Amino acid sequence: MKKLLVVMLMGGIALEAMTYAGSVTLNLYNCAGYESFYAAEVIPAFEKAFPNIKINYVRTSWPELFSKFKVLEEVGKLEPGKNDEVHLVILGGAVIGNFLPKYAVKLLPNHEEKLPNVEELIGIAKEYVQAWEGKAIVCHVDYYPLLLRNSDRVPEPFVNVEQLKEWIKANPGRFMYGRPARSGPGRTFIWGIAAALSEDPSTPEEWVKTWAYLKEISPYIKTYPSGTGPTINAFAMGEVDVIPLGLGWQAELKHWWTIPPETAVDLSWSPVMFGDPHGMFIPPGVPTGAFEAALKFINFTLEAETQAMMGPLVHYPATLAGWEAMHEKYQVAITKLMGRSFPEFLAEVEFDLLPPPEAMIRTYDLWDERIGALHEYKGG
């Protein structure tokens, strides 16, 4: 009561500022999916921790959001204080690079005092933050590409790309990957091939051995689906025996019995795995109240207890502190589904960043031209 009286005596401007500071709506746009984490877990916990901040959650696609930003830019809504529409964005690592040059403000080191939990990120996540020049913060990472293997039909693990190639040729129609432009596992599979053959995943126009490899196995692949879902369905139905997939993705499929929990996972067929992150960024023009709320949300997402919410969702967190904060039963379950604990995984695997956006587009175009357009299945 005493505090309220003082503010009232200070006049209407102070009272208005108090009201503004006490109630903020944060417009959060999610183009990355994983709503079981962001919408179902993080947002309710955040609103409970910060009852003066209300999240207006919008699920959309990245092309729709990119078009929206163009319109906001044209009408001057990205000018300081005028952006009352998009305050915070979550995007996948394959597309976030298209937004950062024009549609994201610099968060680090400018606001590092408001984002202390960034220091808790694992190594590959910090590398992304650095590559993004501090304009976006990693909040989740999955890892690609592993090989999902039906161990009843394919008992021996794949330990290199030559072994994989010979198996594909000896077993026509039993291996499948999605068209790279439409499939995360599909694109990271061919980048994994390039890395294994000592060619740079970021320069597909210079590949020699990689294109030769992909052309050699192509006649033994029945189809290249336009997406990952059909490859999972084919694997689950026993139509194929091996597909590339993400580590967290396969854990979810096992957890929900889409595929048998004992399905084998091969990581060592390629020398690297690509960290595929989700990043959060704040666009230009966000008013002060919403900007401060966005910083709070980013930092909250990296709290150990928040990252530990990935436990029931059977995903590795983006911080070791998140793993340590997880209930032991979730650590045990994830270790079983992944084949290794999170600390063991980090120690065992060499990680790389996804290629930059322009290299991704060149990869898709060249694959469509050199592999997809010329595909002819000869397996009978």
Q: What is the pTM of this model?
A: 0.92
Residue 178 has pLDDT above 70, yes or no: yes
Q: Residues 255-294: pLDDT tens digits?
A: 999 999 889 999 999 999 999 999 999 999 999 999 999 9
What's residue 240's pLDDT?
98
Q: How confident is the model at residue 169 (pLDDT cuts 50, 70, 90)?
A: very high
Mean local confidence (pLDDT), 24-33: 98
Residue 364 has pLDDT above 50, yes or no: yes
The fold of 24-141+276-332 is D-Maltodextrin-Binding Protein; domain 2 (3.40.190)
Q: Residues 309-347: pLDDT tens digits?
A: 999 999 999 999 999 999 999 999 999 999 999 999 999
Residue 57 has pLDDT above 50, yes or no: yes
Query: Domain boundaries in the chain?
Result: 24-141+276-332, 144-274+345-372
Q: Would you say the CATH fold of 144-274+345-372 matches that of 24-141+276-332?
A: yes
Burial 342-373 (b: 16+ CB within 10 A, else e): beebbeebebbbbbebebbeebbebbeeebbe
Burial 21-35 (b: 16+ CB within 10 A, else e): eeebebbbbbbbebe
Q: How confident is the model at residue 6 (pLDDT cuts 50, 70, 90)?
A: very low
CATH of domain 144-274+345-372: 3.40.190.10
Q: Residues 75-123: pLDDT tens digits?
A: 999 999 999 999 999 999 999 999 999 999 999 999 999 999 999 999 9
Chain position carrying tokens 């179902």: 40
242 CB contacts (<8 Å, ≥6 apart)? 147, 148, 149, 150, 154, 158, 164, 167, 168, 174, 175, 176
The token pair at 87 is 């305050």
Q: How confident is the model at residue 379 (pLDDT cuts 50, 70, 90)?
A: confident
Q: How confident is the model at residue 7 (pLDDT cuts 50, 70, 90)?
A: very low
Mean pLDDT over the full length of the chain: 94
What's residue 2's pLDDT?
34
